[in-house]
Amino acid sequence: MCSHDEKRRQARYAYHADMEYMLKPPTADEILKGAVVNLSNSGMSFFIAKPLAIGQEIIIRSNLPNRAQTAVVRWIKQVGGCYKIGAECNNVG
């Protein structure tokens, strides 16, 4: 079985920051919050309070160093009372 690290196109680096995102397509302009823990130009992982579905697209509202505008959830793992999400970034500047 491959780990998430083996499937990544680029190495991720520790990056800790709060983030805001919206579901795509947007539902009632609801802004959600998370906490980024690592980042690369092609992906990121972050913690959130409520789970997302694999394949769910999100609109990133925070200014991250990789300038991603959207991302797609690729994996999810429950960690205690929250969820760690691995996402592939799109529209990187």
Q: Running DSSP on this structure, what letter comes out for residue 7?
A: H
Residue 19 sits at φ, ψ, to 5 deg, of -140, 155
Query: 86 CB contacts (<8 Å, ≥6 apart)?
Result: 4, 43, 44, 45, 73, 74, 75, 76
Domain covering 4-90, topology: Thrombin, subunit H (2.40.10)
Q: Does residue 49 sit in helix, strand or coil? A: coil
Strands (E), the chain: 13-24, 32-39, 43-48, 57-60, 70-79, 82-90
Domain ranges for the chain: 4-90
Residue-level pLDDT, tens digit, the chain, 93 residues? 334 444 556 688 999 999 999 999 877 788 999 999 999 989 999 999 999 999 999 999 999 998 899 999 999 999 999 999 999 998 765
Task: Report pTM.
Answer: 0.83
